[in-house]
Structure 1
Amino acid sequence: MSRQSNRTTDSKKMNSELFTLTYGALVTQLCKDYENDEEVNKQLDKMGYNIGVRLIEDFLARSSIGRCQDFRETADVIAKSAFKTYLGITPSVTNWSPAGDEFSLILENNPLVDFVELPDTHSTLIYSNLLCGVLRGALEMVQMAVDVRFVQDTLRGDNVTEIRMKFIKRIEENLPAGDE
């Protein structure tokens, strides 16, 4: 019985490593296809946004979580449920702004950067920028406009990876005339 359990763990680790390596190949190809890091960063954000737009439905179906009442609750759901479900990690939610409209997600371990070293020629590349797009796209689908950006990155020599999220506005649903 425990042998079966080990296979499940090994399978999850193998899937995670395969994802990490596949993501690395994607970033490498983008670096070859585009002339500069800023364009690669934009493409990663755009890809992440499109993933987030689709991923939110899966997340809501799996988690049975209802509508969050405020941005603090949203932050907890992102950290404790979404990251855990899809990346197997639980970032810390910290550095709240006094207004309560901005916070940081601190990732002690970013699984996307396993086996990665940034070459000096890509000093402005935000390797995990896909995550910013995923968060922005998913939250937009639940009527929250947010700004998401990397502040610190272990690939750049920082101790942790920090993603900063700022609430911009609640998006009002625009219903066609007569559908109110």
Structure 2
Amino acid sequence: MQGTPITTKASFPTTSTAAAARAKQTGDDIWRNRTDKINAELFALTYGSLVATLVKDYEDYAEVNTQLDKMGYNIGVRLIEEFLAKSSLPKCGTFVETADVISKIGFKMFLGITPTITNWSADTKEFSIIIDENPLSEFVELPDDALLPPPASTGGSAATGLWYSNILCGVLRGALEMVLLQVDVFFVSDVLRHDDATEIRVRLVRILDEDVPASDE
């Protein structure tokens, strides 16, 4: 992926302590009291079956990545309505606030986790989501060929192997588009691929106008 300038740790933008605490409390409250729980193991296995089916159907990891992103986008477009109804949040004033809400409320509400927001760009238009425990990738080990770019002889995409949880990128992209934020979202690293961390990069492209329809995907 493209290199991205980041701020030093000391200058990472943050929401106020009180706002961060409120966001965390809101996420915890929704998770405890207003979210229907599903069995984590069943969820992981069901998602694994979906990925396995896509791999079998397309026989091309780059295309599987694309299909997972598209599925996630369509899910995100619909999930945002439930998210807004359950959280009753006002509109975020900055992209920094948006990132905090994604981490402390969005991920908590739907996956029961609170990832870390870090690696902000100097213009605060890009950040990373670090996921310590990914419920989608429980019980998963990728084959060696899923970790590598396709050989040039196959005419495959330059995309690097399989990003197993790429559906999350689509969910974020679709949900944020519904609140008028056009973003690029992509995986930078994944522990399934023997990286040190699972990192998703989110880049703000532009703020949409109220009357611009969502992408037709």
* Normalised TM-score (structure 2): 0.74
Equivalences for 1:20-35 in 2 at 5 Å? Answer: 20-35=44-59
Instruction: Say whether the 8 Å CA contact 1:49–1:138 is kept in structure 2.
Output: yes
Find the aligned partners of 1:175 and 1:108 in 2 and give their Cα distance.
36
Give distance in 1, aligned partners of 2:107 and 2:198: 14
CA distance in 2, matches of 1:22, 1:109: 18
| RMSD value, Cα | 1.7
| 1:49 maps onto 2:86 in alignment | no
Q: Residues 38 and 95 of structure 1: is their aligned pair in 2 closer, same or farther, counting only changes over 3 Å?
A: same
Label 1:114 to 1:78 Cα distance change in 2 as closer, same or farther (>3 A). Answer: same
Larger proportion of helix: 1
Q: Work out the CA distance in 1 between the residues paired with 2:38 and 2:70.
A: 27
Give CA deviations for 1:91-142 in whole Å, capped at 9, x if unaligned.
0010100001000011111111100000112220010000000000000000
1:143-165 alpha-carbon deviations (Å, 9 max, x no partner): 00001000110101112210000
What runs of 5+ residues in structure 2 fail to find an aligned partner? 1-31, 148-160
Unmatched tracts of structure 1, length 5 or more = 1-7
Is residue 143 of structure 2 the alignment partner of residue 119 of structure 1? yes
Other structure's SS at 2:39 match: helix
Specify whether residues 14 and 81 from structure 1 end up closer, same or farther in structure 2 by C-alpha distance, changes over 3 A only: closer
Q: Deviations over 1:22-79 (max 9, x none)?
A: 0000000000000200100000000000000000000000001111101000000000
Equivalent residue for 1:104? Answer: 128
Given that 1:106 and 1:161 are in contact with CA atoms closer than 8 Å, whether structure 2 keeps it comes out as yes
Could you tell me the TM-score, scaled by structure 1's length?
0.88
4+ long deviations beyond 3 Å: none
Identity of aligned residues (%): 62
Partner residue of 1:76 out of 75, 86, 100 = 100
* Aligned position for 1:19: 43
